[in-house]
């Protein structure tokens, strides 16, 4: 079978070549969006979340049988079209359970202990500690929204920090309760009692704006919000409102709502009839990026060598299993 593989890093190319040496592979550096000329005879399409796959692309690959996405999320793929065209989709579960959980605590510590400001001052030869007094994690209440693989690791790390951990999930994990002593509560109660709220749920219609302008005002005054999941789980205007009204003391955000448009802000602003909601979100994102009590990073929580290698290993196993007539980690 022929594989059409989009990749980003050169070492990933070398690794895939070695592990899939028995396959005929056409490698393309970049994404489906910036690669107009591709191999139309591919049986398997291998890509990352930055490569959207619509019905038109699937139909152009007349032999396509499998889309192997190197991700847990699959919003970039038209699942309905795949089902119509009898194309299977497989993904990579739980590759970032360590990387993302650790990154969430990196953001927590950075914003709660004012590390970025402290570091920036030293770069300017300013050794003053004025206004750099932060707050401990130990003894604080950590609210974990979503206790899948990543969220469960966050619970464990929080307990190790000496935090009092409460959690919200539609399917409570009793084993996690027994091991860590965490307590499951409603989302409403979690927002009310948590000093730090960290989000670890997938993005879908049920979690869209799970944190919004209404319930942000029920959060404990002076709390912190951490989001390493998906941007649209939080209504951007809600974070702005929470900060302006003193409900939130700060935020650590690895994802932003409409983050895909941040690179295209000029074209958006120059459109004859810009979408008001999208424009408002874009401007709110800029407010957050410039806010002194907000740390924003570029969807980087997953990005460790170990996590990337797990992604590749799982994808390779998925492809080999499919070719052997077995379905592994099938999304649809």
End-to-end CA distance of the chain: 20
Known catalytic residue: 259? yes
Vertex 52 angle, CA 93 and 327, to 5°: 40
Q: Retrieve residue 281's tokens.
A: 């979100």
* Alpha helices for 161-270 (secondary structure H): 174-180, 187-193, 236-244, 265-270
Q: Are 190 and 168 in contact (CB under 8 A)?
A: yes
What are the strands of the beta sheet with 44-47, ordered from one edge? Answer: 24-29, 2-7, 44-47, 66-69, 88-90
Q: Which residues have C-beta within 8 Å of that of residue 102, sequence separation ≥ 6? A: 157
Question: Quick check: 162 and 181 in contact, CB under 8 A?
Answer: no
Contacts (Cβ under 8 Å, ≥6 apart) of 36 = none
Residues sharing a CB contact under 8 Å with residue 17, sequence separation 6 or more, in sequence order: 25, 27
Q: For tokens 């670890």, name the residue.
A: 200
- Number of helices (H), then strands (E), belonging to the chain: the values are 12, 12
260-269: b (≥16 Cβ within 10 Å) or e: ebeeeeeeee
Q: Nearest Cα to 239, choosing from 268, 197, 201, 271?
A: 197
Question: To which residue do tokens 């919200």 refer?
Answer: 168
Q: Which residue among the candidates 12, 235, 257, 259 is catalytic per the annotation?
A: 259
Q: Which of 76, 200, 230, 310 is catalytic?
A: 230
Cβ neighbours around 165 below 10 Å, total: 25
* 159, β-bridge pairs: none
Q: Which residues are identified as catalytic?
A: 230, 259, 299
């Amino acid at each position: 079978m022929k594989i059409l593989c989009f990749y980003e890093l050169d070492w990933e190319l070398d690794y895939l070549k070695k592990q899939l040496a028995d396959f005929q592979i056409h490698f393309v550096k970049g994404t489906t969006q910036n690669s107009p000329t591709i191999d139309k005879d591919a049986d398997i399409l291998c890509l990352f979340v930055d490569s959207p796959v619509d019905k038109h692309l699937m139909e152009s690959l007349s032999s396509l049988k499998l889309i192997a996405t190197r991700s847990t999320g699959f919003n970039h793929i038209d699942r309905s079209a795949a089902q119509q065209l009898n194309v299977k989709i497989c993904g990579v579960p739980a590759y970032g359970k360590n990387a993302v959980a650790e990154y969430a605590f990196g953001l927590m510590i950075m914003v709660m202990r004012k590390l970025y400001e402290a570091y920036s001052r030293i770069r300017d030869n300013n050794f003053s500690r004025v206004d750099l007094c932060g707050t401990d994690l130990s003894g604080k209440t950590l609210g974990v929204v979503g206790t899948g693989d990543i969220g469960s690791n966050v619970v464990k790390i929080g307990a190790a920090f000496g935090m009092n951990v409460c959690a919200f999930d539609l399917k409570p994990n009793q084993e996690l309760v027994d091991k860590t002593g965490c307590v499951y509560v409603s989302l409403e109660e979690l927002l009310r009692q948590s000093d730090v709220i960290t989000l670890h749920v997938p993005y879908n219609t049920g979690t869209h704006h799970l944190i919004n302008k209404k319930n942000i005002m029920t959060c404990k005054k002076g709390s912190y919000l951490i989001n390493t999941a998906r941007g649209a789980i939080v209504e951007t205007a809600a974070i702005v409102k929470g900060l302006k009204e003193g409900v939130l003391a700060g935020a650590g955000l690895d994802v932003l709502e409409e983050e895909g448009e941040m690179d295209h802000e000029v074209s958006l602003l120059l459109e004859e009839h810009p979408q008001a909601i999208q424009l408002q979100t874009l401007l709110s994102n800029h407010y957050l990026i410039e806010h002194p009590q907000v740390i924003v990073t570029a969807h980087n929580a997953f990005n460790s060598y170990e996590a990337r290698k797990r992604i590749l290993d799982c994808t390779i196993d998925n492809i080999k299993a499919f070719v052997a007539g077995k379905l592994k980690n099938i999304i649809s």
